[in-house]
């Protein structure tokens, strides 16, 4: 696999809500097949960074490129871009009035205008892969939090995105359901998916990441391999942050 091909490039990104900067001059490249895990204290801007990547947040400076094309110029066809950038959110965000299958089919059928039979077949394959093959006709209310998140992952995967964004997808889950969702993500990572993950699960971050990005105060303070970052963090703030997870 060509590891040097850049899928997403973020150049000097800045973002503010009017009162102080949320992100200051953030630059980050994500390469094909790479798993980048973004960590940092609450409110540091990591979720905002992820949301900027698929246009859910406006930016005030810098630019973002997808496959070498600028997507933050104002002329972007976001519908097209978002098909290439899948995203899974923290809250269980399935559409409550649709069955599991219809949740998954909505994008492929209405946005990509794909053939229903073909998409249904693929949906079933993906659902089986995340252990939910028998839930096609269930409504979201009949699923546990962990199951809902796995469906949400399938709903994003079926669009065949080039990169997947995960925004604290286990933060709202009961502890016993965290594992089943992380396992799915780990499997995706091993299968070579390109991923950007925001998480508070440090052991998971260490296991899944090719590269750790540490953000605090809206700036990237440190990037490195999981070994480097978790064993020998370079900055004082990263050290302090990691200490908060020790007892």
Partner 1 sequence: MQDLGIKVLFMGSNFERLLDGLWVTIHISILSVLLSILLGILLGIVMTSKNIVVKAVTRVYLEFVRIMPQLVLLFIVYFGVTKTFGLHLNGETSALIVFTIWGTAEMGDLVRSAIISIPKHQRESGLAIGLNSSQIYRYIIIPQTLIRLIPPAINLTTRMIKTTSLIVLIGVVEVLKVGQQIIEANRYTVPNATLWIYGTIFFLYFFTCWPISLLAKFLEKKWKVN
Determine if 54 is a binding residue for partner 1 (CB under 8 A). Answer: yes
Q: Which helix (H) or strand (E) holds 151?
A: helix 145-157
Determine if 87 is a binding residue for partner 1 (CB under 8 A). Answer: yes
Among 203, 86, 94, CA closest to 149:
94
Per-residue interface string for the shown chain with partner 1, residues 150-169, x marking contact by CB under 8 A: --x--xx--x----------
**Binding residue for partner 1, selected from 3, 19, 117, 141, defined by CB under 8 A:** 141
Per-residue interface string for the shown chain with partner 1, residues 95-134, x marking contact by CB under 8 A: xxx--------xx--xxx----------------------
How many residues of this chain interact with partner 1, rule: CB under 8 A?
A: 27
Dihedral angle, C-alpha 90, 149, 141, 109, nearest 10 °: 110
Strands of the 163-167 sheet, one edge to the other: 85-88, 163-167, 195-198, 35-39, 211-216, 219-224
Dihedral angle, C-alpha 177, 181, 187, 189, nearest 10 °: -140
Determine if 76 is a binding residue for partner 1 (CB under 8 A). Answer: no
Residues making contact with partner 1 (CB under 8 A):
54-56, 78-80, 82-83, 86-87, 89, 91, 93-97, 106-107, 110-112, 141, 152, 155-156, 159
């Amino acid at each position: 696999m060509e590891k040097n091909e850049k899928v997403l490039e973020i150049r000097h990104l800045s973002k503010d809500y009017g009162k102080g900067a949320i992100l200051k001059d953030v630059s980050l490249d994500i390469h094909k097949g790479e798993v980048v895990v973004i960590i940092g204290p609450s409110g540091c801007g990591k979720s905002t960074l992820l949301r900027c990547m698929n246009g859910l947040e406006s930016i005030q400076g810098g630019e973002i490129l997808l496959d070498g094309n600028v997507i933050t110029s104002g002329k972007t066809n976001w519908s097209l871009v978002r098909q290439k950038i899948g995203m899974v959110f923290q809250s269980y965000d399935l559409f409550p009035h649709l069955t599991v299958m219809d949740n998954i089919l909505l994008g492929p059928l209405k946005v990509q205008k794909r053939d229903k039979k073909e998409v249904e077949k693929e949906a079933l394959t993906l659902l089986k892969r995340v252990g939910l093959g028998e839930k096609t006709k269930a409504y979201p209310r009949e699923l546990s939090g962990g199951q809902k998140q796995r469906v949400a992952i399938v709903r994003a995967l079926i669009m065949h995105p080039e990169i997947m964004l995960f925004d604290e997808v286990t933060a709202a889950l009961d502890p016993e359901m965290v594992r089943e969702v992380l396992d799915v993500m780990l499997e995706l990572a091993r299968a070579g998916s390109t991923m950007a993950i925001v998480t508070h699960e440090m052991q998971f971050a260490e296991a899944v990441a090719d590269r750790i990005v540490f953000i605090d105060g809206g700036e990237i303070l440190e990037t490195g391999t999981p070994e480097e970052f978790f064993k020998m963090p370079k900055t004082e703030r990263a050290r302090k942050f990691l200490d908060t997870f020790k007892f």
